[in-house]
Amino acid sequence: MNDPASPIAAANGQYLLISREAYDAVGGHAKIANDLLEDVAMARLVKSSGHKIFFRYGGDAVRTRMYRSFAQMKEGWTKNLVLLFAPVSSVACLRLSEFLFIVVMLATSALFFLLRSPRVGVLAGLAGVGVDLGACVTPAVLALLMWSIFLIRIRKAHFSTFPTLIAVLGVPVFAYLLVVSARLQRRGEIVWKARNYKSATEAMPRWFQTEGGPFLIVTVLSALMFVTSVVLLTFHRYLFHRH
63-96 tens-digit pLDDT: 888 889 998 888 888 888 888 887 787 788 888 8
Most confident residue range from 30-44, 164-178, 180-194:
164-178
149 vs 199: which has the higher pLDDT:
149
pLDDT for 127 equals: 41
Regarding predicted confidence, which is higher, 128 or 30?
30
Distance of CA 158 to the CA centre of its chain: 16
Mean pLDDT of the chain: 78
Give the whole-angstrom CA distance, residue 109 versus residue 136: 5
Q: What's the pLDDT score for residue 34?
A: 78
Q: Which of 140 and 210 is assigned the larger pLDDT?
A: 140
Q: How do residues 182-206 score in pLDDT, each as one tens digit?
A: 888 888 778 777 777 765 444 444 4
pLDDT of residue 228: 67
Give the whole-angstrom CA distance, residue 177 versus residue 74: 7
When mean pLDDT is compared across 36-40, 119-123, 125-129, the lowest value belongs to 125-129
The pTM of the full predicted model, rounded to 2 decimals, is 0.69
Distant-in-sequence, close-in-space partners of 193: CB < 8 Å, separation ≥ 6:
75
% residues pLDDT > 70 (the chain): 73
Is it the case that residue 174 has pLDDT exceeding 90?
yes
Q: How confident is the model at residue 139 (pLDDT cuts 50, 70, 90)?
A: confident
Closest to 94 in 3D by CA, of 231, 227, 220, 229: 220
Confidence of residue 207 (pLDDT cuts 50, 70, 90): very low
Rounded Cα distance, 82 and 209, in Å: 9
Between 11-25, 166-180, 228-242, the lowest mean confidence (pLDDT) is in: 228-242
Which pLDDT value is given to residue 58? 82
Q: In this structure, are residues 138 and 111 in contact, taking their beta carbons and an 8 Å threshold? A: no
Answer yes or no: is pLDDT of 114 > 90: no
d(CA 90, CA 85) in angstroms, rounded, equals: 9
DSSP string of the chain? ---TT-------TTS----HHHHHHTTGGGGGTT-SSHHHHHHHHHHHTT--------TTT------SSHHHHHHHHHHHHHHHS-SHHHHHHHHHHHHHHHHHHHHHHHHHHHHTSHHHHHHHHHTT-B--HHHHHHHHHHHHHHHHHHHHHHGGG---HHHHHTGGGGHHHHHHHHHHHHHHHHHT-EEETTEEE---GGGS-GGGS---HHHHHHHHHHHHHHHHHHHHHHHHHHHSB--
- Residue 48: what residue type? S
Return the pLDDT at 120.
Answer: 54
Cα torsion angle, 124, 127, 131, 132, sign:
positive
Contacts 24+ apart (CB under 8 A), 116-121: none
What percent of the chain has pLDDT above 90?
Answer: 22
